[in-house]
Amino acid sequence: MSAEVGTWGAISAERLRWRRSTAGRLPVIGFAAACVEGLLYLAGSVRHDWAALTHWQILWVTGLGPISVGLLAGLLGRRERTARGGGAWWRPVSPLRAHLAQSAVLAVHAFALQLLVLVAALPFGWLDGLSFPGPLGTVAVLALVQWGASLVLLTVAHHLAVRFGLFAAVGFGLVWAIAGTLTAERGLWWLQPWSWSVRAALPLVGTHANGIPVAAGDPLATASPWPPVLLTVALAVPLAVLGGLARPHRHGGGGTERRARPVATVPTGRRPWRGGTGRALATSLRRTAVGPLLAATVLVVLASLVLWADPHATVQFVGLAVIPAGAALLPVLVWQATAPAWRSLAVRPAGPARLATALLALLGTAVAALVACTVLALVLAGMPPGRALAFGLLAGTTAAMLVCWHLFLVVRFGIGVTLGAAAVGLLGALVVGGSSLAYTLWPAAPWAWAATGTAGYRMLVCVPVSLLLTGILVPACRRAARRAAATAD
C-alpha cells in the first residue's frame, strides 16, 4: 500500500491540475475589467487625478469582484464534478488535506485576480499624464484587503460549486455582491460577512458603496480596513476545515451516485424517428434550463410593465439588463448541454459546421420569439406601434450579435471566459447606458445598444454594425465548432 501524500505533495499536485485550465486563465479577465474602469475614468471623470481613478475601483469592489470570485470557485467545482476529481479521490490522500490544498491554490489564484484588476488600471492614469508610479502601494494594499476580505465568499462558493455546480457559485457571488453593497454602511455591518469586503475597501477607494466620494471629515475616510479582514480570516479558516470534513467520499463520484439506465431500442420492423438537425438539437434541450430561462425572461418583461407602468422604463430595463444577460446565458446553457456529446455528434453526416449553423438558427429563433413577445407587450402597454417595432429591430439585431459573440466565446474558450466577459459587458452596459456617459461613450458599449441606440441617428449606426458583426461572427462560430470537435477529449 502506497504511503499517504503529504501536504506539499497535495499542493503540488493541485498546482499541476490548474495548468491550462479555464479557472487558471480567469485572472486574465481581470485585465478587461481594468480596461473598463480606466476608459470610464478617461471619458467620464470631471477631475483627472489619482483619487478620481481610484474611485472607479468601486465598480470592482461592489459588483464584478464578488461575481468573479464566485466564478473562479465555480470553475474549480465544475472541474471536480465533471472529472470526478481527476482520479484524486482514489489517491492515498485524506479528503481534508486534498480540500485544503485545493483551497490554498484557489486562494493564490484569487489574489492574482485581485492584484491584476486593481494594478492594471494604473496605466490609464499614466496615459492621462498623472505622476509615475502613482498610488501603487495603496492599490497593492487594496488588492490584499479585497483578497483577505473575500475569503469567506471564496470558501462558501467553492463548497457550493462542488455540491451544486458552476451556476450555484456564480449566483451566490451575485447575491453576495448585492447584499454587501446594501449593508456595508449599516450599523451592524460587523455581523454580516457579505458586507466585510465592501466595508474594508471603502476607506481605500475613497467612496461610499454607491460610488459617491467620501467627504472630508467623514469617519469612513479614516476607518481602518483591517477589522473586516481579520473577521473574514477568522471565519474562513473553520469554514475551510468544515468543507474538507464534508468533502464527498472518494468513491462517491462527487457526492452523487449515477445508476445505469436501460437503453431504449427501436423495435424490429420500425424505422427510427428522423428529423432535421435543428429539431434534433431542440429535442435534446428539452430537459435543460433553456426553457425555464426563456419563460422567466418573458415573465420578467411583463412584470416590469406591471411594476413601472411605463413602457419607456421597460425599454431601458430590457436594453440594459435583460438583453446583455440573456444573450450570454442562453449560449452558455445551450453549449453546456451540447458540449459533452459534441465530438460524437460531429462525426455524423451533418458535421460540426452544420451543427453550429443549426445551433445558431435555434438561438436566433429563440431571440426572435422573445423580441416579438416584448414588442407585443409594449404595444399593449400603450407604446406607439412604430416606436415598438423600431425598438424590436434594434433589440433583435443587438441580441443576435451578442448571442453569436458569446457562442463563439463559449465554444472556443469555455464557460469561464464567456461568463467573465459577459459580466464585464453587463457592467459596462449598466454604467454607460444608465448614466450621462451614454451621450459620449455609447459606441464603445455595444451591450447597451438596445437602449442607447434609440436616440436620434444612432439606430442608423447600431443596426447595420450589429448585422455586420453578426455576419462576421457566424463563420467564426462554425470554425470554432470544427475546432471543438477536433480537440474534444
User: Tens digit of pLDDT for each residue in 199-215?
Assistant: 999 999 999 998 888 88
**Is a pLDDT exceeding 50 seen at residue 287?**
yes
Question: 214: Cβ–Cβ under 8 A, 6 or more apart, which residues?
Answer: 202, 203, 206, 207, 208, 220, 221
Cell digits of residue 77: 467545482
pLDDT recorded at residue 416: 84
Listed range (228-242, 330-344, 359-373) with the worst mean pLDDT:
330-344
Same domain, 213 and 342: no
CB 282 within 8 A of CB 290: no
On whether residue 197 sits in a domain, the answer given is: yes
- Cβ-in-10-Å burial (0-12, 13-18, 19+) of 416 comes to buried
Same domain, 41 and 96: yes
Question: 463: Cβ–Cβ under 8 A, 6 or more apart, which residues?
Answer: 393, 394, 397, 453
- Tens-place pLDDT, residues 331-343: 999 998 888 777 7
pLDDT recorded at residue 276: 64
pLDDT recorded at residue 45: 77
Average pLDDT score over residue span 97-105: 83
On whether residue 1 sits in a domain, the answer given is: no
**Amino acid at site 6:** G
Q: Which helix (H) or strand (E) holds 47?
A: none
- Tens-place pLDDT, residues 181-196: 989 998 889 899 999 9
Average pLDDT score over residue span 33-54: 85
Q: What is the CA radius of gyration of the chain?
A: 24
Same domain, 139 and 187: yes
On whether residue 267 sits in a domain, the answer given is: no
Residue ending a domain, among 191, 221, 245, is: 245
In this structure, the number of other CB atoms found within 10 A of the CB of residue 483 comes to 13
Looking at the structure of the chain, the number of domains it has is: 2
Per DSSP, the three-state class of 257 is coil
Same domain, 58 and 114: yes
Q: DSSP of 428-466, one letter per residue?
A: HHHHHHTSTTHHHHGGG-GGGHHHHTTSTTHHHHHHHHH
On whether residue 126 sits in a domain, the answer given is: yes
**Is a pLDDT exceeding 90 seen at residue 462?**
yes
**Is a pLDDT exceeding 90 seen at residue 149?**
yes
Confidence of residue 46 (pLDDT cuts 50, 70, 90): confident
Q: Which domain holds residue 49?
A: 7-245
Question: 154: Cβ–Cβ under 8 A, 6 or more apart, which residues?
Answer: 69, 72, 73, 103, 106, 107, 110, 236
The rounded percent of the chain whose pLDDT value lies above 90 is 34
pLDDT recorded at residue 258: 46
pTM for this model (two decimals): 0.77
In this structure, the number of other CB atoms found within 10 A of the CB of residue 91 comes to 16
**Is a pLDDT exceeding 60 seen at residue 485?**
yes
The verdict on whether omega for the bond into residue 133 sits within 30 degrees of 0, i.e. cis, is yes
Going from the C-alpha of 489 to that of each of 14, 29, 343, 483, 484, the distances in angstroms are: 20, 25, 8, 12, 9
Same domain, 239 and 346: no
Among the residues of 339-437, which ranges form H helices? Answer: 342-346, 351-380, 385-413, 415-433
Same domain, 239 and 309: no
Same domain, 377 and 437: yes
Cell digits of residue 260: 445505469
Strand partners, 207: 213
Confidence of residue 2 (pLDDT cuts 50, 70, 90): low
**Taking Cα atoms as reference points, which of 424, 423, 421, 445 lies closest to residue 434?**
445
pLDDT recorded at residue 152: 94
Same domain, 424 and 476: yes
Average pLDDT score over residue span 407-430: 88
pLDDT recorded at residue 482: 87
Listed range (146-160, 171-185, 428-442) with the worst mean pLDDT:
428-442
Average pLDDT score over residue span 217-236: 91
Average pLDDT score over residue span 58-64: 89
pLDDT recorded at residue 266: 44
The rounded percent of the chain whose pLDDT value lies above 70 is 86
Average pLDDT score over residue span 248-270: 45
Using the Cα atoms of residue 438, residue 313, residue 311 and residue 402 in order, give the sign of their dihedral. positive
CA 28 to centroid of chain Cα atoms: 14
Residue ending a domain, among 201, 229, 245, is: 245
**Taking Cα atoms as reference points, which of 325, 70, 73 lies closest to residue 174?**
70
pLDDT recorded at residue 471: 95
Report the distance separating Cα 156 and Cα 172, nearest Å. 9
Same domain, 33 and 131: yes
Confidence of residue 166 (pLDDT cuts 50, 70, 90): confident
On whether residue 418 sits in a domain, the answer given is: yes
Q: Which residues of 377-394 are buried (b: 16+ CB within 10 A; e: fewer)?
A: bbbebebeeebbebbbbb
Per DSSP, the three-state class of 364 is helix
On whether residue 270 sits in a domain, the answer given is: no
Cell digits of residue 215: 467627504
Strand partners, 213: 207
Average predicted confidence (pLDDT) for the chain: 83
CB 353 within 8 A of CB 481: yes
Of 307 and 17, more confident: 307
pLDDT recorded at residue 92: 65
Going from the C-alpha of 477 to that of each of 326, 376, 482, the distances in angstroms are: 18, 31, 9
Listed range (69-73, 97-101, 278-282, 362-366) with the worst mean pLDDT:
278-282
Report the distance separating Cα 451 and Cα 433, nearest Å. 7
> What phi and psi, each to the nearest 5 degrees, are found at residue 207?
-135, 165
Same domain, 220 and 337: no
Same domain, 225 and 292: no
Confidence of residue 263 (pLDDT cuts 50, 70, 90): very low
pLDDT recorded at residue 227: 93
On whether residue 211 sits in a domain, the answer given is: yes
Cell digits of residue 332: 452558455
Same domain, 226 and 353: no
pLDDT recorded at residue 196: 93
On whether residue 226 sits in a domain, the answer given is: yes
**Is a pLDDT exceeding 70 seen at residue 5?**
no
Residue ending a domain, among 245, 261, 291, is: 245
